[in-house]
A and B are shown apart, each in its own frame.
Chain A
């Protein structure tokens, strides 16, 4: 037949063929029920059709060709053109028979595996696209905890089965077609006080290129990856060119997503009281500053410009005070020297956010024949965040190809190029370049943020709402919002290449060798700016980073069957080389020329740039053997020895074994309802090294003083006696498929213990150092993971599939090195610190708590730390290191419902986290600055809580005295020293439960009949998608409990938390 491929404007191809015949028939399942929407494709061509509602089809094919009939969930069938097509019957496929890509890209029959593997299909990820594809995997795999940090273009934590390392990287290892991909977290600063989140390395992977994702949990699955597999491995297989004759195909995928802020994750502002920390200034309600603005000799009232809080005077909407406000200070503005009604602004900071948009367009072509195949893909991502002036662009080019040099000798290679350009990422944590720091912690509700941006855009000046005074318009603590967004933005660019080259040679039909070189390199430049006239010293800084990783692998594989015994295995060697270097320079003491961002514009001679360079190597040799008997019993064992350059010679070599066993009991027990069943068990160890430069000491050079060199001891004390940390894990699991695969179950129990944790232990600085490198102790992670899938309804037109995942991970610090009482993971602003404490789960939050009576009720005292005149106060603990929370959740679950009706499918996913806590610096400060709705309103007497107690105001505290009596006196709530803000010094007051139930994803897909396209298109799918549309339930106010500072080991701390974004989008996928 003739067919024209038409692809945008860049491809035109015409094919001719000869003798044809038309066949027709019907397709049904093994019960005889018709299968609508089954595909029939003429082999080796793109000619195909779908069955109609009754399973009937008609197709015209070439003489002497063949047709493959397939339908999801059923085994495909290939028939010659002269076969009988009248009533075709398809058998249901057994999903557990699927082939899994495991360690080092080796494909294995899933039933033989002695460890837990979960697979997600590429289409499941690519249908709902995001700038970070990892967020599309949330809730889909038990034991895989993906936590988005919420920032635009920001990172996501990818943790499999809990944190096994205290200090080190706990992120899962990513392997793309055999290439290890770094998943480093890129945060320019961190520690909760500024910096930007540049995302994580794995987010560069293009979802449109993904064929399947396998999540290998536990050490046994990962022993062969060596050290870096100890956190679990995510193996990604990308799409390949098809190897069949005339397999030429084109795929176009286009998606658009738009996002808007989720107000459930935003502050709710009070609108009754104006700027100030209390009503103790001047003018009406003591809420104003006095200046003689009009020069008539009498003072006029102005906003309390310097005060970044909203505990000031009460607005009087009926008869508002007229005050000179921030927009009266600049001659360019309409309100210059005009007093205007002092009222809550019509817009709150929640109104300044724009609609985010993400366009992702990709096109790929592929072809193949008996000699080889290739695939070329190009994807363009263009995204704007909700914060004005934030943009992310990413172009990805991928190419892979394989070629059969001889029957036995095959060469293949793949290259991916990713160019990412970011601009205006929102700052993180407690930093003026994080808008949310101001809007969640410090703000005047009488200021209109939208007007702030408007005047900036009109005049390009730093017209701050927070000046020194009426006659001094310099910003005191905060810049104009537009100025922050459009002047003091960062830009970043990264070029990354990764891929591999492989040679594969078959000595004979049972032994072969694979040699592979893989690489992953990137160059990036990050530039940060602060313009002249900002609150902060004007500055330009740039940092160039280069990183590269090369892996050299050689592996000899063998596979042989002797009657009932199957035997396969491999021996191999691996060398990994990682290089990292960076150079960062900054202007010194400000900029001379406004708006010119170059080091030459430095006010003083720039200081020496800071340089860093490191190289580390790990080599390993390994062997693996797996034996099967009668397709029923399988036994596998592996052994690996690594040598790392980051450990001292005395401890740089470490050997670790694994062993696993499987029994397919459905081969032994014959039960009608049992389609498939197996049990598995394994034990494995994995060694892990550390980063470079933790063994030998070196000094830090300071900036020279008048020609004198300065050197200082570093803050961490290195240790010549370090050795590898070892994770030992045991796992038991069962997989079963029942009632013709209508019920499938996968359950695992694991216990994973990491010993000799390599940690820079925080120590008392009286030792002269802040931390000391030690093999510090051991941590245990144990838990249960369940996956259950049920198909309650399966008829010819309709099916309903429910699949659920549930996992709990209990992590507990078992012991610490001698002399240690706790391992401090971080100490933060607000007086809290996060710890690993023996007997406690990882991530205990410590600070000052409430004192409670035996019934758990908060105790009160009349000795208010703000002074007795403030009334009763909560009684706080004496020490500041009480355990007041823990960041580790109790369990996570995901429930997905999928409905298929003919060629329409609909699914939604609910993601649940139970337990876990976080400390909020936002409410810690924000409750004191009076910006939130709960800091205004009425008390039990229906009097305003901000009125003085003497006038019937104040609040009755929810607690009792030591004798059990309730308070009779109310507590003052008229200024920042109220009983809920940071002035109480009780950190526990700002520890919130991080539980949530979210409608994570909702999707509607429609397979457009190809007839619509007049036969030009082989398949067309239109999807409409919604992400994070609804937080069904949460126990914390004003923010998304999932969010933190950046991906990393600390998740239980929010400061200037990003806003949640509801996304809806549509995508169209066309295959030619």
Chain B
């Protein structure tokens, strides 16, 4: 029998030798290839880049801002330029990117900064806040009411309620003011990890005030007193004064850190876009020198845009110029051109800021032409065009500002669309194929109907219906 027990013992020891403790088991369940802790600066860098990518991209799965502003037209597949945003889940993709890759990582970085011990943590917190406000404003401007106070908390709340858009704006102003004051006093912030200003907090202050000016001017029709006060504060505190102040991310020459426009147009080899007749016709009418910078390939000696919303043969129309298609072309969040036109509006509305509407209008045009590589003489001759000169251009002040503001926002489709929504000008076209009205917002992602329907539907009724033609609260005209 002794042999028997030996065999039995040998057999069972096979198992027990191989067995491990609970703690060892738990160790197996920690991924050795993905970090459980990272420097929070890497979250900040990642979220900043995601934000700029998302604002810059023209990938028709994510962003149709260039069609909302009608700068470009499409060739074979025309759903997007005909404002069918749900077929490719465009609103879902934009929404998800902003919440998960931008705001959630910013929130995580910020909590770690605040709870950390860095001497620069106040500045870091402020840098994060400014970009967060930028992202939240974009979400509100795109959708209207969105989850805000209950958002970004997957541990506690997987059914976040939607907040009122105007209330979110109010809170964004408060957060931005806090950040502005922090930026003024902080010894430093993110430096190397700051892909935008490399840690220059003075530049961040100008960015924050320029963003505050943007928020303020959005409210000019619905809440003039708040708008005036905030705009005046922002300008007094110091907004952008030249293109050198612009909030930009310098992309690199090789993938994967190239400009997303290069990825979706050049690298993919696709020829899905041509200039739109909306843009070309307006610019031709003004003999705009920027045509040579924005587009290439004249047709019969002149730039020609494809009818907006129609099926267009690629070879028949003018195309996007190489400057925009360079892999290392910078991506811009806000620039002096925009700040100039915002101030022009403020001046027209009688806000107490330095400079006249005309000065700011001229600054906007000049800085835009120069940014795109035009010369001083281009500026001079363009300004001399009576259809451009502020005093002689046609229309009321809104129409004058809107036309040049819209052209100046050419590579920032979202702001181009905002100009049209705010000023109801310039005249855009109804897309040829669908004849649908130009959207004034994105409808909520379809998945919200499945995953958060009670909150989505109450938001839908709060804003007047989950339609593409429902207006954002500040778009009252």
Contacts and interface: CB of A to CB of B under 8 A. Distances in A.
Interface string B29-63: 11111111111011101110110000000000000
Given A711-B43, A764-B158, 5 more contacts: A588-B255, A619-B19, A711-B38, A712-B46, A712-B101
A611 B33 CA distance: 7
- From A280, A573, A714, A767, name the one whose CB has the most chain B CB atoms within 10 angstroms: A767
Given A710-B46, A881-B450, A552 B15 contact: yes
Contacts of B96: 765, 770
Given A277-B311, A649-B22, A698-B31, A766 B450 contact: no
Interface string B70-108: 000001100000001011110010011001110111011
A1050 to B, nearest CB: 15
Nearest to B435: A867
Interface residues of B, number: 94
Contact of B76 (A306, A471, A613, A835): A306
A772 B154 contact: yes
24 contacts: A280-B311, A306-B314, A307-B76, A476-B76, A476-B271, A476-B314, A515-B14, A575-B15, A589-B254, A607-B256, A617-B20, A617-B25, A645-B26, A652-B25, A698-B31, A699-B38, A711-B39, A713-B100, A765-B96, A766-B448, A772-B158, A835-B450, A866-B434, A881-B449
A126 to B, nearest CB: 36
Nearest to A289: B313
B450 A822 contact: yes
Contacts of A14: none
Interface stretch (B145-153, B236-244, B375-383, B401-409): B145-153
Contacts of B193: 708
A705 interface: yes
A513 B447 contact: no
B446 interface: yes
Given A472-B315, A573-B12, A768-B107, A762 B451 contact: yes
Most central of A468, A619, A647, A708 by chain B CB within 10 Å = A708
B195 A706 contact: yes
A16 interface: no
B450 A697 contact: no
Interface string B306-326: 000001011100000000000
A308 B76 CA distance: 9
Nearest to A649: B22
Contacts of B447: 762, 764-765, 824, 827, 833
Contacts, number: 274
B252 interface: yes
A705 B32 contact: no
Contact of B29 (A696, A717, A769): A696
Interface string B181-221: 00000000000110100000000000000000000000000
B268 to A, nearest CB: 7
Given A711-B43, A765-B96, A827-B447, A649 B26 contact: yes
Contacts of A765: 92, 95-96, 99-100, 445, 447
B192 to A, nearest CB: 6
B223 interface: no
B113 to A, nearest CB: 14
Contacts of A732: none
Contacts of A280: 311
B467 to A, nearest CB: 10
Nearest to A619: B19
Nearest to A975: B433
A513 B7 contact: yes
A617 B22 CA distance: 11
A575 B154 contact: no
Contacts of B391: none
Contact of A717 (B43, B154, B256): B154
Top 3 A-B residue pairs of the complex, sorted by shortest distance between their CB atoms: A768-B104, A766-B147, A698-B34
B348 interface: no
Interface of A: 277-278, 280-281, 289, 306-308, 468-469, 471-472, 474, 476-477, 503, 505, 507, 513, 515, 517, 535-537, 552, 554, 556, 573-575, 577, 588-590, 604-605, 607, 611-617, 619, 643-649, 652, 692-693, 695-703, 705-715, 717, 761-770, 772, 819-822, 824, 827, 829, 831, 833, 835, 846, 866-867, 879-881, 977, 982, 985
A711 B152 CA distance: 17
A769 B154 contact: yes
B8 interface: yes
B476 interface: no
A474 B269 contact: yes
Given A699-B34, A831-B87, A866-B434, A717 B155 contact: yes
B394 interface: no
Contacts of A646: 29
Interface string B249-272: 000101111000000000111110
B145 to A, nearest CB: 11
A820 B453 CA distance: 10
A289 B76 CA distance: 13
Interface in B285-317: 311, 313-315
A831 B76 CA distance: 21
Contacts of A289: 313
Given A711-B46, A879-B449, A699 B100 contact: no
A822 B8 CA distance: 52
Nearest to A588: B255
A865 B146 CA distance: 27
Given A693-B31, A761-B158, A699 B315 contact: no
A554 B35 contact: no
Contacts of A714: 34
Contacts of B313: 281, 289, 306, 469
A455 to B, nearest CB: 21
B167 interface: no
Nearest to B18: A575
Nearest to A505: B7
Contacts of B452: 763-764, 766
Contacts of A306: 75-76, 313-314
A710 to B, nearest CB: 4
A699 B12 contact: no
Contacts of B45: 705, 708-710
A819 B12 contact: no
A152 to B, nearest CB: 29
Given A617-B20, A710-B42, A703 B195 contact: no
A977 B107 CA distance: 45
B331 interface: no
B424 to A, nearest CB: 24
A764 B162 CA distance: 12
Contacts of A762: 447, 451
A644 B75 CA distance: 56
B352 to A, nearest CB: 39
B115 interface: no
A768 to B, nearest CB: 3
B15 A619 contact: yes
B353 interface: no
B444 to A, nearest CB: 10
Given A477-B76, A821-B451, A763 B254 contact: no
Contacts of A472: 315
A469 B15 contact: no
A574 B19 CA distance: 10
A766 B148 CA distance: 8
Contacts of A611: 33
Contacts of B252: 705-706
A472 B25 CA distance: 61
B117 interface: no
A554 B43 CA distance: 49
A513 B11 CA distance: 8
Which interface residue of B35, B255, B314 has the most chain A CB atoms within 10 A?
B255
A985 B82 CA distance: 14
B195 A708 contact: yes
A278 B76 CA distance: 11
